[in-house]
Chain A
Amino acid sequence: MTGNRTVFTGKRTGSKRKHLEERFFKGLMLLSCLAVAGGLGAILLTVVVKGLPGLSWELLTQTPKGGFYLGKEGGILNAIAGSLYLALGATALAALIALPIALYLEVYAPGSRRAAVIRLSLDVMWGIPSIVYGAFGFTVMMLVGLRASLLGGILTLTLLELPIMARAMDEVIKMIPMELKESSFALGTTRFEAAVKIMARQALPGIVTGMLLAFGRGIGDAASVLFTAGFTDRMPTSLFRPVASLPLAVFFQLGMPYKEVQERAYASALVLTVIVLGVSLGSRLLARRLARNVVQ
């Protein structure tokens, strides 16, 4: 009896404490959520508030004129165009490698040891810092005698985008019901036909999303193009000439001690953010629209 009683009282004090504990940690969690959301909101707010005053039609449609970095006239069209060329080129190239890899993993070698090793290597490659890709790209370019150029930038960005894209595609192809693949085999298709005509088509929304995801990562990266693409005030015209990019335009302008130039740096950061977030949102909407053609 006494034993029972102790348990009972113990339970009561325990109950009080456990509810206090529950409330304490719930408060802590809400506080954390607020801190995270607040910090991330602060970034967007700062970029918008600081960037809007410097934003003008001129900034978006002109290339830098003489004395641009001292606060004189001009815009960042060279960097906007350069970034689009770089990221588009890299995304196209990366897709040419990423899609076959993703199809290989699910159609040709599903569940194999080899697939596990390939996935591991992609995951590891994903984590390699972009500055290392930049240094590696630069070294290889010197070996083959290629100067800082659009081509060099595209090739280096391709390495950066490849693992992101391949893993994103792999994840969506993995989601396709096994029956779809099996029924196409049962109808006598080869693996190639199943991969290209069935799986790739079924996974199209995810494939597009993966490409856009990688595009967003590529267009925002500065460290990899720093050595490999260089920088120029001219519009990109040739694969073998240096090319400007938005992240570097932000970086270089911010480093200047003139207020007008720094204001344009903020505006350039806003342009970059809008492009990246636009692509990210667009990919979600597009994925939803494309998903209508998918066999459920």
Chain B
Amino acid sequence: MEQVTTQTAAGRPGRSALVRRHRKENVSAWLFGMLSLFPLVLTVVMGLVLAVRARPITEGSTVWELLTGRTWLPLEGQFGYFPFIAGTLWVTTLAMLIAVPPAIFTTIYLAEYANARVREVTKPLVDLLAAIPSVVYGVWGVIVIVPLVGDRLAPWLSSWLGFIPLFDSDNPTGYSVLSGSLVLALMVVPVIIAISYEVIVTVPRGLREAALALGTTRWQAITHAVLPKALPGIAAAVVLAFSRAFGETMAVLMVVGNVARAPSSIFDPAYPLPALIANNYGEMMSIPLYDSALMGAALILLVVVLIFNVISVLALRSAVRRAAA
């Protein structure tokens, strides 16, 4: 305080400047604090708004009936989500089955085997490819994947393995679960690689060296020393990728066929939830309850993704902390 007054006496910026600085400080602390609550508040508000808008369809039937109902006839007021939920699960699960093994092997290679030069080229490349818009993946799917599935994979696999219902095909086009999964698989590979790479490199160097010093091969060091530590984190990366795939709209919508029936084979068309919303927003105001049904679909997506995300983000954090320890 003493100094402040002497400064004023000397004609320098004094007490009023100090007050101004502190006022700025207090206002900024309050404002920044409020702004930082925005993501949390927004997420909650989003859930509430969608729930309120979806409410009208729960008046005719229970939530359980809606989730398991198999008929989707908006004009007759029948809104069964089951075909769409099944479609989403088929496409997403198959995509993960296709994507996870190569993505993890690639990550292990990049983190444990590749030399610095390869790594320096590959890492930015993976990030770059994660930036490609989903509509471009969709274009690629339409040009390459759909004909590949329709003309080659489906006839070939169903003639050899057609006795298994999973590979049976009566769909002459390539617009199918498998096409959607292949496109989606390629989209989530960069996500899995980017996250699980970060986890693997946090495992302390010394663990590998200790294993190698005992005479193990590199692969043995990886499976016995590195992976046990990194596994929770890799699992979280996979769950995060699953939830990313779960909500992906455009790329899947363009190649999956969009037929409102639960698929029973990987060559059947499917109609995932995001595609349902995107395809029908135009008519939704002209048919009663249709808008609430679509907002209900958005709510289902939101709830599922929120649950998966919260679990995987928390798991990832503790996994990284433990891997580094």
Which residues in A have some Cβ–Cβ distance to B below 8 Å? 18-19, 21-22, 25-26, 28-33, 35-37, 39-40, 42-43, 46-47, 50, 97, 100-101, 103-105, 108-109, 117-118, 120-125, 127-132, 134-136, 138-140, 159, 162-163, 166, 190-193, 195, 213, 216-217, 219-223, 226-227, 247, 250-251, 254, 265-266, 269, 272-273, 276-277, 280-281, 284
Q: Are the CB atoms of A131 and B277 closer together than 8 Å?
A: yes
Contact with A along B161-196 (1 / 0, CB 8 A): 000000000000000000000000010011001000
CB distance from B184 to the nearest CB of A (A): 12
Q: Give the residues in chain B near A128, CB-CB below 8 Å.
A: 43, 46, 247, 302, 305-306, 309
Question: What's the nearest-Cβ distance from chain B to residue A105, in Å?
Answer: 7
- Distance between Cα atoms of A273 and B139 in the complex (Å): 11
Contact of B309 among A97, A127, A220 (CB under 8 A): A127
Question: In residues 124-155 of chain B, which contact A (Cβ within 8 Å)?
Answer: 124-125, 127-129, 131-140, 142-144
User: A255's closest neighbor in chain B, by CB?
Assistant: B254
Given A118-B36, A250-B135, also A36-B189 (CB < 8 A): yes
Closest 6 CB pairs of A and B: A129-B247, A220-B133, A32-B105, A32-B102, A135-B298, A190-B25
What chain B residues lie within 8 Å of A217 (beta carbons)? 131
Closest chain B residue to A42, Cβ basis: B144
Q: How far is the CB of A286 from chain B (nearest CB, A)?
A: 14
Q: Which residue of A lies closest to B306 (CB)?
A: A124
Known: A33-B109, A118-B39, A121-B43. A130 touches B50 (CB 8 A): no
A127 vs B109: C-alpha distance when bound (angstroms): 27
**Which B residues lie within 8 Å of A127 (CB)?**
240, 243-244, 247, 305, 308-309, 313
Q: How far is the CA of A3 from the CA of B165 in the complex (A)?
A: 54
Is there an interface contact between A124 and B310, defined as CB atoms closer than 8 Å? Answer: yes
A135 pairs with B247, CB closer than 8 A: no
Q: Could you say which residues of chain A place their CB within 8 Å of the CB of B46?
A: 128, 132, 136
A222 in contact with B102 given A117-B40, A125-B39, A139-B53 (CB within 8 Å): no
List residues of chain A with CB within 8 A of the CB of B127. Answer: 280
A39 touches B216 (CB 8 A): no
Which of A105, A136, A192 touches B36 (beta carbons < 8 Å)? Answer: A105
Residues on B facing A (Cβ under 8 Å): 21-22, 24-25, 28-29, 31-33, 35-40, 42-43, 46, 49-50, 53, 101-103, 105-106, 108-110, 113, 122, 124-125, 127-129, 131-140, 142-144, 186, 189-190, 193, 216-220, 240, 243-244, 246-250, 254, 274, 277-278, 281, 294-295, 298, 301-302, 305-306, 308-310, 313-314
CB distance from B316 to the nearest CB of A (A): 9
Contact present for B281 and A139 (CB under 8 Å) = no
- Could you tell me the distance between the alpha carbons of A39 and B113 in the complex, rounded to whole angstroms? 21
Instruction: List chain B residues, Cβ under 8 A from A136.
Output: 46, 49-50, 298
Chain A residue with minimal CB distance to B294? A135
* Contact indicator A32/B101 (Cβ below 8 Å): yes
> 24 A-B pairs, CB-CB below 8 angstroms?
A29-B105, A31-B105, A37-B125, A43-B136, A50-B143, A97-B38, A100-B32, A104-B35, A118-B40, A124-B306, A128-B302, A129-B301, A131-B247, A134-B277, A136-B46, A162-B39, A191-B28, A217-B131, A222-B134, A222-B250, A251-B138, A251-B250, A266-B139, A280-B127
The answer to whether A129 and B305 have CB atoms under 8 Å apart is yes
- Residues of chain A lying within 8 A (CB to CB) of residue B28: 191-192, 195
Verify A273–B39 contact, CB threshold 8 A.
no
A117 to B301, CA, bound (A): 22
* Extra pairs beyond A136-B46, A192-B29 (19, CB < 8 Å): A40-B125, A50-B143, A118-B36, A121-B43, A127-B308, A129-B301, A135-B281, A190-B25, A216-B131, A220-B132, A222-B135, A222-B250, A223-B250, A250-B136, A265-B139, A269-B136, A280-B127, A280-B128, A281-B128
Q: Is the CB of B49 within 8 A of A140?
A: yes
* Complexed CA–CA distance, A43 and B141 (Å): 9
Considering the complex, give the chain B residue whose CB is closest to the CB of A192.
B28
Residue pair B298, A131 in contact (C-beta under 8 Å): yes
Specify which of A21, A109, A132, A159 is in contact with B301 (CB 8 Å cutoff). A132
- Report yes or no: B305 in contact with A226, Cβ–Cβ below 8 A: no
A42 to B141 alpha-carbon distance, docked (Å): 11
Cα(A122)–Cα(B35), bound, Å: 12
Q: How far is the CA of A136 from the CA of B277 in the complex (A)?
A: 12
| Chain B residues with CB below 8 A from A97, complex form | 35, 38
Contact B139 A250 (CB under 8 A): yes
Whether B32 contacts A131 by the Cβ 8 Å rule is no
Q: Which of B29, B131, B134 contacts A277 (CB 8 A)?
A: B131
Kindly provide the distance from the CB of B128 to the nearest chain A CB, expressed in whole angstroms. Answer: 5
How long is the Cα–Cα vector from A130 to B134 in the complex, in angstroms? 11
| Complex contact A32–B298 (CB within 8 A) | no
A254 with B139: CB separation less than 8 A: yes
Cβ of A292 to closest chain B Cβ, rounded Å: 20
- Assess whether A28 is in contact with B105, with CB atoms less than 8 Å apart: yes
Chain A residue with minimal CB distance to B112? A29
Residues of chain A contacted by B189 (CB below 8 angstroms): 36, 39-40
Cβ contacts under 8 Å, B103 to chain A? 32, 36
A25 contacts which chain B residues (CB < 8 A)? 105, 219
Q: How far is the CA of A266 from the CA of B140 in the complex (A)?
A: 9
Q: Which residues of B contact A31 (CB under 8 A)?
A: 102, 105
